[in-house]
Each structure stands twice: as C-alpha cells, then as structure tokens.
Copies of this chain bind each other. A is one copy, B any other.
Amino acid sequence: MRDFTKDHSALALNTASLGHNLEGKGAGWSPERVIDACAARGYGGIVFWRREIGARAVAIGDHARGAGVPVVGLCRAPFLVGPMAPVAVWDDFQAAIDMAAALQAQVLTIVVGGVAAGTKGVGDSLKIVADHVAKAAPYAAARGVKLALEPLNPVYAGNRSCLTTTRDALDICDAVAAPNLGVAIDVYHVWWDTDLPRQLARAGGRIFGYHLCDWLADTHDVLLDRGMMGDGVADLRAIRAGVEGAGYCGPCEVEIFSAEDWWRRDPAEVLDVILGRFRGVC
C-alpha cells in the first residue's frame, strides 16, 4: 500500500467538502482560489461539481494543471431514472461528458437516480440505467472520459440511487462491457457491506474512483452530516486495502457533506484538517 504519511499526492479534494462555497455560500472562494489553496498544501488533484464550472471549463482545467492539481473528476452525470431525473436525460448526460472532456477530467461520476415512476422495487430502474450507460459509454470514450457508477447507501434507493451495492454496479458493468465503464467506491455508501471485499476483488481494474469521508455512528442527517475521516465507524484502512488490493492507485477523493460542521468552518482550516487526517488515519 502507498504510504500517505510520506507522500500525500494521491489526496484529491472534492469541492463539496468546502460546502460548494463557489456558489456564493461559505467563504465564496473562486475555483482558482480553491485550486491554489490545494496546490499550496500538496494536494494531488481536485474534483469539481458542474454548477461550479459553468462555461469556464477549459480555463479552470488549464489553471488546475498549471498549479499541479489537475481536475481528476467531475460530479456528475444527471440522474438517469427516477423522480429526480431531468426530462432530457441524454442531452444533459452529453453536456456532462463534454464538460469533463473540456476540463480534461478523466472520470465522470454517475449517481443513477431512484425508482422509475409506475414501477416497484429496483429491478426495472436498474435496466433503464444500464440502457443509458450503454448509450453514453462510446460517446464518453471518444472524448477520453471514463464513467464511474457510484452505488449509494440504500437509504437513497427510492429517490437518488436505485443502485445500492458494488455488486449491482459491477453487474451493470458486466452487462454493458464498455472498457471506459467502471465504479466509484465511496466509503460513506459501502462501509457497512460485508460483501465489499469480494466485490472489490471482482472489480479489479474497473475501480475508477475512491471517495473518503466517514460514517458518524449517530448521524442525524443522511444527506448533509458526513464525518471527517477518523470521526466515524467506517473501517477506512480495510476498505482502502481492498481498493488498492484490486489494483487501484488513483486519487483518494475527500467528499464531506457537512452542513452543520465542516461547511461552517474556514475553508483553509478544512483543507488543513483533511490533509492531516489523510496522512494519519486513511
């Protein structure tokens, strides 16, 4: 395994950890200021959200590479199915891929959406997801973009992600069989799954992302109360061992939605704490 105490260049910031402050919330830092703050601390990459990029993808991507903190991922494709999916899924999916390409971000994360109207259970919805992904994969491949299916904690299965396990994500990967289709492993969503070690081994080179935070034992909001690494009950070292054991050597992306705690702090402090925890407990 990599020794993060001596080399933390694998550390990547997902800007959600700063409360999407680029939108005018929080400290209101610009994308460039966030990039520079990451560069000053030796972060190795950054992941933005589409709404933070707008029409400036090429410029932001250039700035990031120039600072030595390349954009390693983009959040995210539209919901593909379920109550929160847009009407024009395909148009929006293409736009997300185009933005990733303009940023020269290698990975576009996909949160698939919930249960399709008029259906029960997740089976029909997962088929719809597979169809959308099969259509998008060659479009993305032609633009140098990988697609990462992210299973979400089952608490979101109704509205945000009928895809809840690494097993189901890999089943879609197997069915679609596109070389640029893989999975993103987020400890928040999969930490409870005793089948995870087996699925990570099955995934092999199809792990396109590894997301870090922690699950607080007494979490009071399943959307916006994620914990800093080390403050919760997820076995971060075991999950990392499984991810790296499968061959993953890419970015470790810290993504902490925390409306009541970390989002209220100075972004500089948050970046410092993330770095310290990354070196100490991940």
Contact = CB atoms under 8 A, between A and B. Distances in A.
B233 A155 contact: no
Interface residues of A, number: 40
Contact of A218 (B158, B164, B191, B217): B158
Nearest to A114: B217
B158 A219 contact: yes
A167 B194 contact: yes
A171 B198 CA distance: 15
Interface of A is mostly: loop
A127 to B, nearest CB: 12
A218 B120 contact: no
Given A83-B217, A154-B153, A122 B192 contact: yes
B154 A167 contact: no
6 closest Cβ pairs, A-B complex: A121-B235, A155-B155, A158-B217, A120-B235, A157-B192, A115-B233
Interface of A: 82-83, 114-115, 119-123, 126, 153-155, 157-159, 162, 164-165, 167-168, 171, 191-195, 215-219, 222, 232-238
6 contacts: A120-B236, A121-B191, A154-B154, A157-B191, A159-B218, A171-B194
